[in-house]
Amino acid sequence: MSDLKIGIVGCAGRMGRMLVKQVTQTDGGTICGGVEPAGSPCIGQDIHALAGLEPSGILIADDTKALFDVSDAVIDFTAPAASIAHAKLAADSGTILVIGTTGLSDDAQTEITACGEKTVIVQGANMSLGVNLLAQLTKKVAALLDDEFDIEVVEMHHHHKVDAPSGTALLLGKAAAAGRGVEHDTVADRGRDGITGARKRGDIGYAVLRGGNVVGEHTVMFAAENERIEITHKAGDRSIFARGAVRAALWAKGKPAGNYDMMDVLGLGD
């Protein structure tokens, strides 16, 4: 069977370079091109060399539509506005799209989800096996405990990160809400400062730390009188996200159009 032709949008970014490396090291997939926005100093550079690999002669371009036209699957770890545009291109060309971009507004998400009617879109706020397992565990623990247990999600990331709480923290908070059978947005407490009053029973709280080069650490706490359960995931490096994203692209081959997530890819559904 021929390799899945995979294009990388944002191929010069931190995740983009990881993705190029991961595809190159994975059986069944091959890099067919990559793009960066027009004017980027990376345009014209060898995509593999920029990822620290042997040069391949495939040069970074700025024609995103052309990339979708030649790719079987495109992987997108860029920025919210870019991911909406990429979802539309995927819908028009019938290309599989794997989106790892976080910080999407509800409106952006609605636009992307609509594109899933025409092509396969796999989205994951965190593409690692470990975090998706953590989400499942969180859902199960939240279902077993009542709201005497206060749920707090604590996350830490490197100082470059632009969105907060992280997409993964929200994924975990939503898993906890689903386990409790409550609507996340009505119980989420996304930031505390000053005289906030006592904690509201049933809230799901978030705490955000930023600093250094921390790849991503998440803890879900269930705190009651005199006892506390904590479940933690620590990412050692970004390759775990790239591995999950490439696995998602290969998994998506031949699937009917629709919106999928990493639970589908990893077979961790209920």
Residue ranges that bind ligand NAD, judged by CB under 6 A: 9-10, 12-16, 35-37, 40, 64, 77-79, 82, 100-103, 124-127, 241
Q: Please say if 140 is a catalytic residue.
A: no
List 5, 88, 118, 161, catalytic entry: 161
Q: How far is the CB of 100 from ligand NAD (least distance, A)?
A: 3
Q: How far is the CB of 105 from ligand NAD (least distance, A)?
A: 13
Burial track 86-117 (b if 16+ CB lie within 10 A, e otherwise): bbbbbbebebbbbbbbbbbeeebeeebeebbe
Give every CB contact of residue 41 below 8 A, 6+ residues apart in sequence. Answer: none
For 22, what's the count of Cα atoms within 13 Å in the CB-facing half-sphere?
Answer: 25
Please name every residue paired with 233 in a beta bridge, in sequence order, or none if there are none.
218
Angle between the N-to-C axes of helices 106-115 and 80-93, in degrees from 0 to 180, rounded to the nearest 10: 10
Residue, CB closest to ligand NAD: 13
Q: Rounded distance, CA 96 to CA 262, Å?
A: 14
Q: How far is the CB of 36 from ligand NAD (least distance, A)?
A: 5
Q: How far is the CB of 50 from ligand NAD (least distance, A)?
A: 10
Instruction: Dig out the tokens for 8 from the structure.
Output: 């990388």
Tell me whether residue 9 or residue 187 sits nearer to ligand NAD (CB atom): 9
Angle between the N-to-C axes of helices 129-144 and 167-180, in degrees from 0 to 180, rounded to the nearest 10: 30
Tell me whether residue 9 or residue 188 sits nearer to ligand NAD (CB atom): 9
Tell me whether residue 148 or residue 237 sits nearer to ligand NAD (CB atom): 237
Tell me whether residue 82 or residue 182 sits nearer to ligand NAD (CB atom): 82
Tell me whether residue 104 or residue 177 sits nearer to ligand NAD (CB atom): 104
List 139, 157, 174, 218, catalytic entry: 157
Q: Rounded distance, CA 138 to CA 135, Å?
A: 5
Q: Please say if 161 is a catalytic residue.
A: yes
Q: How far is the CB of 150 from ligand NAD (least distance, A)?
A: 27
29 phi and psi angles, rounded to 5 deg: -135, 150
Q: Rounded distance, CA 50 to CA 63, Å?
A: 18
Q: Report the catalytic residues.
A: 157, 161
